[in-house]
């Protein structure tokens, strides 16, 4: 992992029950790799790759460890998955969903932990020219914890293959399914989408522009290699590729957020790093790598999360970012009983931000002039076999408190950075508060 820390990073309670941090990293860098590892059984597809797939898969894992990419998304990781993991050393790795025909072939190996991992099957598939309906292909989602209060939503995908009309229709539907998911579960968040798109810009029916047009995402291959202009002439890459100008179906897209500036600084095919001893390829796809720099927002930041990934996603950061001056909380309003039903606040300009249900008893606290919401303690528990937030305790800069719900033994405290205060929320909720984090702003 590569990280440049401008302040000391301390335990944040992001994924554990330790106490929230007031000093955190404010900038850093990381890199990603996307690689289709050609893990279909030999009798189904030899991928025109020389050598034994078992041996090749073990070498792929060795090279993953050797080059230590921060977040690796792999596709077609089916029947030789164990050989890759046996030689890889990344601290965090998704469990396989199985070989053909049970698994999706999608996995992630990472130097960062994550929350809210999920596998999603495509709504549409086609067997017009490939056996795409044979396995539950689709995409995966995770919220990667790059640092204390620094999250990036990471999507790994493998779309429908082939060039028959039904294939192109299915592929466009696959990409649109991910774009729609970003619009609901990643509102206000930094996002990375990468994997085997089976798409080219010169094949307009593929719909690969959906991420830029619908989700305001950038393609670093277009920006860094082609000066921001999408090539209109098809250029097929050799394997291993000796140039970055040519286009493959493996792609990376990204965007930042109001709480996290994200910029791509380097893009390349890393094909020559993934060769056998005799120079033969290890996969029929050129692996691609991208380097990113990140910096915490100058006017808004966020805390870690507490609770479980259920309910509907919400994020106040975009609305807060649209304010002409730094937002300040004036009144806090919570609802709770046996559990935490809702959280809300009214800003000094009259804007009201409320999330959750209408049950429980109401508790309110109006802040005095110069007083701000400094920290929040959350406690979680189980309801209907799901993790929810049961309790909140707000503490102001003047030491006053407001509590709601019922405390448990599984708690974490999230404190705003020095000179900042809590001014909003993000997380997931239904009729109660499932998952919760906080938005900070200078006070």
Cα–Cα distance measured from residue 384 to residue 382, given in angstroms and rounded to the nearest whole number: 7
Average pLDDT value over all residues in the chain: 93
Q: What's the whole-model pTM score?
A: 0.93
Q: Which pair of structure tokens corresponds to residue 165?
A: 């009309």
HEC string of the chain equals CCCCCCCCCCCCCCCCCCCCCCCCCCEEEEEEEEEECCCCCCCCCCCCCCCCHHHHHHHHHHHHHHHCCCEEEEECCCCCHHHHHHHCCCCEECCCCCCCCCCCCCEEEECCCEEEEEEEECCCCCCCCCCCCCCCCEEEEEEEEEECCEEEEEEEEECCCCCCHHHHHHHHHHHHHHHHHHHHHCCCCCEEEEEECCCCCCCHHHCCCHHHHHHCCECHHHHHHCCCCCCCCCCECCCCCCCCCCECCEEEEEECECCEEEEEEEEEECHHHCECCCCCECCCCCCEEEEEEEEECCCCEECCCEECCCCEEEECHHHHHCCCCCCCEEEEEEEECCCEEEEEEEECCCCEEEEECCCCEEEEEECCCCCCEEEEEEEEEEECCEEEEEEEEEEECCCCEEEEECCCCCEEEEECCCCEEEEEEEEEECCCEEEEEEEEEEC
Q: What pLDDT score was predicted for residue 9?
A: 25
Q: What pLDDT score does 16 carry? A: 39
Separation of alpha carbons 366 and 343, rounded Å: 14
Q: Are 392 and 343 in contact (CB under 8 A)?
A: yes
pLDDT at 131: 84
pLDDT tens figures, 290-345: 999 999 999 999 999 999 999 999 999 999 999 999 999 999 999 999 999 999 99
Contact assessment for residue 285 and residue 73, using Cβ atoms and an 8 Å cutoff: no
Q: What is the chain's pLDDT, residue by residue, as a tens digit (443 residues)?
A: 443 322 222 223 344 333 444 456 799 999 999 999 999 987 666 678 999 999 999 999 999 999 999 999 999 999 999 999 999 999 999 999 999 999 999 999 999 999 999 999 999 999 998 889 999 999 999 999 999 999 999 999 999 999 999 999 999 999 999 999 999 999 999 999 999 999 999 998 999 999 999 999 999 999 999 999 999 999 999 999 999 999 999 999 999 999 999 999 999 999 999 999 999 999 999 999 999 999 999 999 999 999 999 999 999 999 999 999 999 999 999 999 999 999 999 999 999 999 999 999 999 999 999 999 999 999 999 999 999 999 999 999 999 999 999 999 999 999 999 999 999 999 999 999 999 999 999 99
**pLDDT tens per residue across span 368-381:** 999 999 999 999 99
Planar angle of CA 27, 28, 29, nearest 5 degrees: 145
Short-list 401, 403, 313, CA closest to 355: 313
- For residues 133 and 167, what is the distance between their CA atoms, to the nearest angstrom? 11
**Distance (Å, rounded) from C-alpha 327 to C-alpha 13?**
25
pLDDT tens readout for residues 124-176: 999 998 889 999 999 999 999 999 999 999 999 999 999 999 999 999 999 99
Distance CA 38, CA 50 (A): 12
Residue 209 neighbours by CB under 8 Å, 6+ apart: 201, 230
Q: What is the pLDDT of residue 12?
A: 32
First-to-last C-alpha distance (Å) of the chain: 33
C-alpha closest to that of 334 among 305, 382, 377: 377
């Amino acid at each position: 992992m590569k990280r440049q820390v401008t302040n000391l990073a301390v335990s944040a309670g992001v994924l554990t029950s330790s106490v929230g941090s007031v000093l955190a990293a404010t900038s850093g860098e990381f890199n990603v790799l996307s690689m289709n590892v050609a893990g279909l059984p030999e009798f189904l597809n030899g991928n025109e790759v020389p050598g034994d797939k078992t041996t090749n898969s073990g070498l792929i894992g060795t090279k993953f460890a050797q080059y230590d990419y921060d977040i690796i998304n792999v596709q077609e990781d089916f029947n030789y998955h164990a050989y890759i993991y046996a030689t890889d050393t990344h601290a965090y790795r998704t469990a396989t969903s199985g070989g053909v025909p049970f698994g999706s072939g999608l996995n992630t190996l990472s130097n960062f932990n994550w929350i809210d991992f999920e596998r999603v099957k495509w709504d549409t598939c086609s067997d017009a020219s490939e056996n795409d309906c044979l396995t539950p292909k689709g995409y995966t989602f995770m919220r990667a914890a790059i640092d204390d209060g620094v999250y990036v939503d990471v999507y790994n995908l493998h779309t429908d293959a082939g060039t028959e009309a039904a294939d192109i229709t299915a592929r466009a539907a696959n990409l649109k399914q991910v774009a729609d998911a970003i619009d609901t579960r990643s509102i206000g968040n930094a996002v990375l989408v990468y994997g085997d798109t089976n798409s080219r810009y010169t094949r307009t029916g593929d719909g690969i522009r959906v991420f830029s047009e619908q989700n305001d995402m950038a393609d670093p291959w277009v920006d860094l290699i082609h000066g921001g202009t999408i090539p209109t002439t098809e250029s097929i890459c050799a394997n291993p590729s000796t140039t970055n100008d040519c286009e493959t179906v493996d792609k990376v897209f990204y965007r930042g957020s109001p709480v996290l500036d994200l910029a791509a600084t380097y893009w390349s095919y890393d094909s020559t790093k993934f060769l056998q001893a005799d120079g033969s390829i290890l996969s029929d796809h050129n692996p691609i790598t991208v380097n990113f720099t990140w910096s915490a927002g100058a006017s808004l930041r966020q805390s870690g999360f507490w609770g479980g990934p259920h309910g509907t996603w919400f994020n106040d950061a975009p609305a807060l970012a649209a304010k002409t001056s730094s937002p300040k909380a004036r009144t806090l309003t919570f609802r709770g009983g046996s559990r935490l039903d809702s959280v809300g606040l009214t800003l000094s300009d009259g804007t009201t931000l409320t999330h959750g249900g209408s049950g429980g008893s109401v508790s309110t606290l109006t802040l005095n002039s110069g007083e701000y919401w400094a920290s929040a303690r959350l406690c979680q528990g189980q309801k209907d076999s799901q993790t929810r937030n049961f309790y909140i305790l707000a503490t102001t800069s003047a030491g006053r408190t407001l509590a709601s719900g019922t405390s448990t033994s599984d708690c974490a405290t999230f404190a705003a950075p020095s000179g900042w205060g809590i001014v909003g929320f993000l997380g997931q909720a239904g009729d109660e508060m499932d998952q919760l984090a906080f938005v900070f702003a200078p006070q």
